[in-house]
């Protein structure tokens, strides 16, 4: 298992080995051994003969060569189990634990009341009444039931031609899961709003609207719903699906709408044309020009938020901080604007305190320091 762990640390682990590692970590005794190994400042070169150092090093060199600015690699937690780790890869390789991330020459100023995001939402009923949904609180009304983490709508078995709508609004620092009467499941990210019918009419189109924000859909197939298709509307595009999994990101403060297909098939209509997405493809729609671009991507980074992680693949620091600001409900400013474009690879757990993440970023020497004052962060 030491070899498997070190393969993970050098980004050389296979899918089957990762599954093996996660299964092994479920035992408390193994988790303690794993944490001990992380803290023991290993020289990774001793295992490179077995894991092909040259291939790993060439991959990193290609990544850096293709970027205009240095690309940092950071990793905070293996899923939600590991201790904080930082990996540098250059001419030689080594890693640091959180025990040696503090630089006394640039002190960190913290006056912190920032909380980790959690399950919370506001449900707006058809009569306009707002219901606050919070973790640990139950709510039941009509055909819906919420336990504070999920809201589930049960089919009454009767086809009602009069459609009524509910809204589910997720604040900054929140997330929520909803299951509709057709068995479609939707995960909503921070700062998002969804409009949807409380029940569907048999044989007619099933339509929901992502008013703004980000949502991950697992859609019940049309064959299970008397052939009725499923559509997701945003401000300037319409997505039609026939049983699939996909992610839509359409925030009000961003210039693009991102639609990412995990499996199945979707068509995207943005009034200027129709585009078909295949699995592992992402459409990027320019809101201003209405132009659309289709790319083949690694979809795991786009849907990591659903599973409790953030994965950043060559993302500028300003984009990373925008994602974190929504989850931790904070405002972020940069003292030096040049820092905003520094790019990172990395995986962060959504269950970590914000100061741990910022300390990890600081240890790359990309930023000199940071200040946390209540719910405001200043990057220096």
Residue 212 and residue 251 in contact, taking contact as beta carbons nearer than 8 Å: yes
Q: What is the mean pLDDT of residues 67-73?
A: 46
Which residue bears the tokens 């030689």? 92
Burial class (CB in 10 A: 0-12, 13-18, 19+), 105: exposed
Domain identity same for 128 and 101? no
User: Rounded to the nearest 5°, which phi and psi values hold at 196?
Assistant: -155, 155
85 occurs within a structural domain:
yes
What's the CA gap between 258 and 344, in Å, rounded? 20
Domain closes at, from 252, 274, 302? 302
Domain identity same for 196 and 106? no
Range of the domain at 39: 1-116+313-380
Q: What does the block give as tokens for 309?
A: 């992680």
Domain identity same for 130 and 249? yes
307 occurs within a structural domain:
no
Domain identity same for 123 and 109? no
Q: What does the block give as tokens for 353?
A: 């305190």
Domain identity same for 124 and 223? yes
For the entire predicted model, the pTM comes to 0.73
* 11-69 pLDDT, tens digit each: 667 766 776 777 777 676 777 777 666 555 344 333 333 444 344 444 434 443 444 44
Domain closes at, from 282, 302, 322? 302
308 occurs within a structural domain:
no
Q: How many domains does the chain have?
A: 2
pLDDT for 69 equals 44
Domain identity same for 220 and 255? yes
Domain identity same for 87 and 134? no
* 114-172 pLDDT, tens digit each: 899 999 999 999 999 999 999 889 999 989 999 999 999 998 777 667 889 999 999 99
Per DSSP, what are the bridge partners of residue 245? 218, 263
Q: What does the block give as tokens for 135?
A: 């973790």
First to last CA, the chain: 40
Domain identity same for 255 and 164? yes
Question: Which of 95-99, 102-106, 113-117, 153-157 has the weakest average pLDDT?
Answer: 95-99
Domain identity same for 342 and 273? no
Domain identity same for 31 and 127? no
The sheet with strand 370-374 has its strands ordered as: 109-112, 370-374, 376-379, 331-334
Domain identity same for 236 and 284? yes
Domain closes at, from 252, 278, 302? 302
Domain identity same for 96 and 130? no
Residue 86 and residue 363 in contact, taking contact as beta carbons nearer than 8 Å: yes
What is the tally of helices (H) and strands (E) in the chain?
A: 8, 27
Residue 128: which region, alpha, beta or left (left: phi > 0; alpha: psi -120 to 50)? left
Residue 136 and residue 130 in contact, taking contact as beta carbons nearer than 8 Å: no
CATH number at residue 363: 3.55.50.30
200 occurs within a structural domain:
yes
52 occurs within a structural domain:
yes
Angle, helices 317-328/354-362, rounded to nearest 10 degrees: 170
Give the residue ranges of DSSP H helices in 26-81. Answer: 28-39, 48-51, 53-65
CATH number at residue 202: 2.60.120.1440
Nearest to 87 by CA among 295, 373, 377, 363: 363
Which residue bears the tokens 């295992």? 47
């Amino acid at each position: 298992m030491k070899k498997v762990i070190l393969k993970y640390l050098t980004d050389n682990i296979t899918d089957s080995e990762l599954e093996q590692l996660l299964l092994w970590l479920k035992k408390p005794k193994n988790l303690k051994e794993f944490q001990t190994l992380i803290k023991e400042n290993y020289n990774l070169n001793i295992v490179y003969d077995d894991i092909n150092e040259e291939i790993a090093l060439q991959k990193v060199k290609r990544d850096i060569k293709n970027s205009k600015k240095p690309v940092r690699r950071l990793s905070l937690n293996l899923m939600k189990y590991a201790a904080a780790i930082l990996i540098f890869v250059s001419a030689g390789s080594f890693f640091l634990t959180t025990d040696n991330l503090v630089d006394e020459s640039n002190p960190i100023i913290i006056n912190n009341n920032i909380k980790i995001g959690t399950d919370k939402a506001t449900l707006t009923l058809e009569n306009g009444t707002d219901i606050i949904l919070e973790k640990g609180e139950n709510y039941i009304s009509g055909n819906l039931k919420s336990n504070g983490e999920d809201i589930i709508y049960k089919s009454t078995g009767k086809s009602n031609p009069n459609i009524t709508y509910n809204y589910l609004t997720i604040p900054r620092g929140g997330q929520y899961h909803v299951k509709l009467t057709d068995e479609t499941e939707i995960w909503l990210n921070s700062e998002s709003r969804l409009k949807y019918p409380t029940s569907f009419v048999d044989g007619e189109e099933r339509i929901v609207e992502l008013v703004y924000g980000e949502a991950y859909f697992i859609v019940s197939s049309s064959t299970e719903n008397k052939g009725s298709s499923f559509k997701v509307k945003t401000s300037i595009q319409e997505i039609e699906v026939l049983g699939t999994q996909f992610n839509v990101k359409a925030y009000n403060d961003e210039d693009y709408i991102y639609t990412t297909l995990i499996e199945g098939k979707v068509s995207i209509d943005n009034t200027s044309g129709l585009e078909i997405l295949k699995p592992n493809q992402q459409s990027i729609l320019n809101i201003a020009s209405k132009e659309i671009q289709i790319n083949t991507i690694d979809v795991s980074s786009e849907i990591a938020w659903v599973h409790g992680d953030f994965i950043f693949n060559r993302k500028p620091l300003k984009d990373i901080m925008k994602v974190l600001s929504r989850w931790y409900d904070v405002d972020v400013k940069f003292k030096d604007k040049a820092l905003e474009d520094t790019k990172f690879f990395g995986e962060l757990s959504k269950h970590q305190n914000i100061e741990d993440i910022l300390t990890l970023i600081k240890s790359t020497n990309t930023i000199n320091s940071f200040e946390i004052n209540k719910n405001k962060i200043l990057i220096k």
